[in-house]
């Protein structure tokens, strides 16, 4: 059962909860002409309006991104980076856009080590100027607009400017995340989280508490920054007073100063790269290649699962979860070992998704848990190196859009950890993306780690924006999620849920998560009214009997999924966050 979308997203988002269905779970939304799904109703409404006015998917993305940077600042913004998989209906081609943050020219491999060669620790690095990569989002918006846009930029940023000036209500999610970070400060020590007085004043009450949900927030500096971008293009951000103030904030950080220079900003470029595509049961799944590990790892997981007939299993079953977890172990072993910025290290991309190689990896899967998987030896692999198995946190958001002309856009956008590095400049937060590098340049045997810090390099990502094509080459599914390195599993599971188990996008999202990043097998704690039917925790005993080390926990995906059908679109938005579907 699906909702017919007659109006824009905000109404639809409300409607999701009002239908009577088993367990009152959120229901899919259908539209006829176009669709946008984001993690926030205001962002979805802005994108839906642009689409309704004849804008392209790229135009709608700009409206969405600029609103997200305001209303969901913990997850993405002008000070961050993004990856896009884009299908251009006119040429029938798929490309990817790498707007990943990059390390300054002064960066060296010992960036996150102290004088004794020990790690300075994640929190210390996160909340510092060292972690800030040169942002990619403003240049990305400019490029996408020049290449694929139709409406003028000032119309695209108008919704964000209106909200920034007129005010918007702080969400419960943002408020509680501010409170969570403030609680991490240590009494009697200088404030580390929200150490920047501008960010502190913006997010807290005069008593220094997190502003409560529902607070009317205004961000005039953000409106002015957007207006400058509309007037002068992205140069307004990468040169001039905004660039100077970014450099001043980074080099003057109150915890640990960084080393970003004006030349780093002025020289930043978005890179167009070939998509990474794999066949999955007759569908073509296209994703983002290095510096993201997402396209390769999602492709590997699906390519490995292809050796097994999942359709005979229940989607929430010991059998399906076991196979999915084993595929995750194998994919993460390779990811940790081989994948980094391919402009700096040789990544055997073709070998890692080679059919025969993946069949050989699938053959390693037995009836019991394999334990820690080792990296394989894919065709074209380079010699010895050390793995980077570090697990990173997430300040990320996913946007899926298809416009009336059939252009499809899948974008995952990030400031890395919640609220980036916590420093606000001209109304936006700086990222801490460089903590996605390995903190140690070598492994314990002294081998260089592929994902070590290097000047001008882009840190390895897990972001997995994906577009799936049917056997006739038509866009079929647009999907992706935030969630740190769990993004890979969330995205692969969404595709498996739809292709193998025939779920619609919302059912695929509601379905409880399971997965393994070559460590514990993680099962999702059920959320009443949000996840189900079935409870992954019910699988615990069965998986433990197969030797899985199991942890049951919340797994907060933020999937945004569009399914393209012969009649239009079916959309699903993740209620583990504030997702909303819009369009007509
Ligand atoms: N910052 C999240 C990611 O790039 O995977």
Q: How many of the other CB atoms lie within 10 Å of CB of 366? A: 11
Number of Cβ within 10 Å of residue 269's Cβ equals 12
**Ligand 1 pocket check for 234: Cβ under 6 Å:** no
Could you tell me the fold of the domain covering 273-370+466-582? Serum Albumin; Chain A, Domain 1 (1.10.246)
Instruction: Collect the ranges in the chain with pLDDT lower than 50.
Output: 1-22
Residue located via tokens 């974008």: 411
Q: What ligand 1 atom has the least distance to the C-alpha of 459?
A: 4
Contacts of 99 (CB under 8 A, 6+ apart): 81, 82, 83, 84, 136, 137, 139, 140, 270
Burial 236-249 (b: 16+ CB within 10 A, else e): bbbeeebbeebbeb
The structural domains of the chain, with segments of one domain joined by +, span: 42-270+395-436, 273-370+466-582
Q: Whose CA is nearest to atom 3 of ligand 1?
A: 461
Q: Find out whether the beta carbon of 463 lies less than 6 Å from any atom of ligand 1.
A: yes
Q: Which residues contact 571 (CB under 8 A, 6 or more apart)?
A: 5, 28, 29, 30, 31, 35, 37, 400, 505, 506, 561, 562, 563, 581, 583
Dist. CA 401–CA 581, nearest whole Å? 10
Q: Is the CB of 413 under 6 A from ligand 1?
A: no
Q: Cα separation of 502 and 28, whole Å?
A: 14
- Look at residues 338, 349, 445, 344 and name the one whose alpha carbon lies nearest to residue 383: 338
Q: How are beta strands 216-217 and 93-99 bridged, if at all?
A: unpaired
For tokens 């209620």, name the residue: 575
Q: What is the pLDDT of residue 394?
A: 63
CA-based torsion, 327, 332, 333, 338: positive or negative: positive
Q: Find tokens 């190689």 and name the residue.
A: 357
Whether omega before 334 lies within 30 degrees of 0, making that bond cis, reads no
Q: Of 478, 469, 508, nearest to 35 (Cα)?
A: 478
Query: Which structure tokens are listed for 112?
Result: 């996150």
Q: What is the pLDDT of residue 386?
A: 74
Structural tokens at position 538? 């019910």
Write out the catalytic residue numbers: 396
- At residue 99, the 3 state secondary structure works out as strand
> Are 56 and 153 spatial neighbours (Cβ–Cβ below 8 Å)?
no
- How far away, in angstroms, is 393 Cα from ligand 1 center? 8
d(CA 505, CA 483): 18
Nearest to 139 by CA among 76, 75, 82: 82
Q: Could you write out the three-class secondary structure of 318-343?
A: HHHHHHHHHHHHHHHHHHHHHCCCCC
Q: What is the CA radius of gyration of the chain?
A: 22
pLDDT by residue (tens digit) across 326-350? 999 999 999 999 999 999 999 999 9
Pairing of strands 276-280, 428-429: unpaired
C-alpha 462 to ligand 1 mean position (Å): 5
Q: In sequence order, which ranges of 127-204 are alpha helices (DSSP H)? A: 137-148, 153-166, 172-182, 197-203
Name 95's Cβ contacts closer than 8 Å, sequence gap at least 6. 85, 86, 88, 272, 273, 274, 275
State whether residue 152 is helix, strand or coil: coil
Specify the pTM.
Answer: 0.95
**CB of 461 sitting under 6 A from ligand 1:** yes
Quote the ligand 1 centre to 412 CA distance (angstroms).
9
């Amino acid at each position: 059962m699906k909702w017919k979308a007659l109006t824009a997203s905000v109404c639809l988002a409300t409607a999701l909860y009002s239908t009577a269905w088993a367990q009152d779970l959120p229901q899919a939304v259908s539209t006829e002409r176009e669709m946008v799904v984001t993690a926030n109703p205001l962002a979805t409404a802005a994108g839906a309006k642009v689409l309704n006015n004849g804008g392209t998917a790229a135009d709608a993305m700009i409206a969405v991104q600029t609103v997200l940077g305001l209303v969901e600042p913990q997850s993405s913004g002008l000070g961050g980076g993004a990856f896009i998989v884009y299908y251009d209906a006119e040429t029938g081609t798929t490309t990817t856009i790498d707007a990943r943050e990059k390390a300054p020219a002064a960066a060296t491999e010992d960036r996150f080590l102290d004088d004794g060669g020990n790690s300075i620790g994640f929190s210390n690095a996160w909340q510092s100027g060292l972690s800030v990569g040169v942002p990619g989002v403003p240049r990305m918006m400019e490029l996408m607009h020049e290449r694929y846009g139709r409406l003028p930029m000032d119309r695209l940023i108008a919704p964000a400017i209106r909200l920034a000036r007129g005010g918007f209500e702080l969400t419960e999610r943002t408020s509680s995340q501010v409170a969570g970070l403030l609680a991490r400060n240590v009494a009697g020590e200088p404030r580390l989280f929200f150490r920047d007085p501008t960010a502190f004043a913006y997010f807290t009450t005069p008593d220094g508490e997190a502003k409560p949900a529902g607070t009317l927030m205004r961000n005039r500096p953000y409106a002015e920054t957007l207006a400058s971008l509309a007037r002068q293009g992205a140069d307004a951000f990468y040169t001039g007073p905004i660039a100077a103030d970014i450099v001043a904030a980074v080099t003057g950080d109150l915890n640990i100063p960084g080393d970003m220079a004006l030349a780093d900003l002025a020289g930043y470029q978005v890179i167009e790269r070939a998509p990474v595509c794999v066949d999955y049961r007759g569908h073509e799944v296209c994703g983002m290649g290095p510096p993201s590990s997402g396209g390769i790892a999602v492709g590997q997981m699906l390519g490995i699962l292809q050796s097994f007939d999942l359709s005979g299993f229940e989607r929430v079953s010991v059998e399906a979860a076991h196979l999915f977890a084993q595929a995750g172990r194998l994919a993460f072993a390779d990811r940790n070992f081989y994948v980094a910025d391919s402009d700096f290290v040789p990544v055997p991309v073709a070998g890692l998704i080679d059919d025969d190689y993946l069949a050989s990896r699938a053959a390693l899967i037995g009836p019991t848990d394999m334990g820690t998987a080792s990296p394989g030896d894919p065709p074209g692999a380079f010699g010895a190196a050390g793995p980077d198995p570090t697990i990173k946190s997430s300040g990320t958001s996913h946007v899926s859009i298809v416009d009336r002309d059939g252009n499809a856009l899948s974008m995952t956008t990030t400031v890395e950890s919640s609220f980036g590095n916590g420093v606000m400049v001209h109304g936006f937060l700086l990222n801490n993306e460089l903590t996605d590098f390995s903190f140690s340049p070598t492994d314990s045997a002294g081998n260089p780690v592929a994902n070590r810090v290097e000047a001008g390099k882009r840190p390895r990502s897990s972001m997995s924006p994906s577009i799936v094509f049917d056997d006739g080459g038509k866009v079929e599914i647009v999907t992706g999620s935030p969630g740190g390195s769990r993004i890979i599993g969330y995205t692969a599971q969404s595709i498996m849920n739809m292709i193998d188990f025939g779920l619609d996008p919302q059912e695929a999202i509601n379905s409880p998560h399971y997965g393994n990043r070559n460590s514990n097998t993680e099962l999702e704690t059920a959320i009443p009214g949000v996840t189900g039917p079935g409870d992954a925790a019910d699988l615990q005993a069965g998986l433990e009997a197969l030797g899985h080390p199991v942890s049951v926990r919340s797994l907060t995906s933020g999937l945004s999924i569009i399914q393209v059908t012969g009649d239009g679109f079916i959309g699903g938005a993740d209620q583990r966050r504030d997702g909303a579907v819009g369009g007509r």
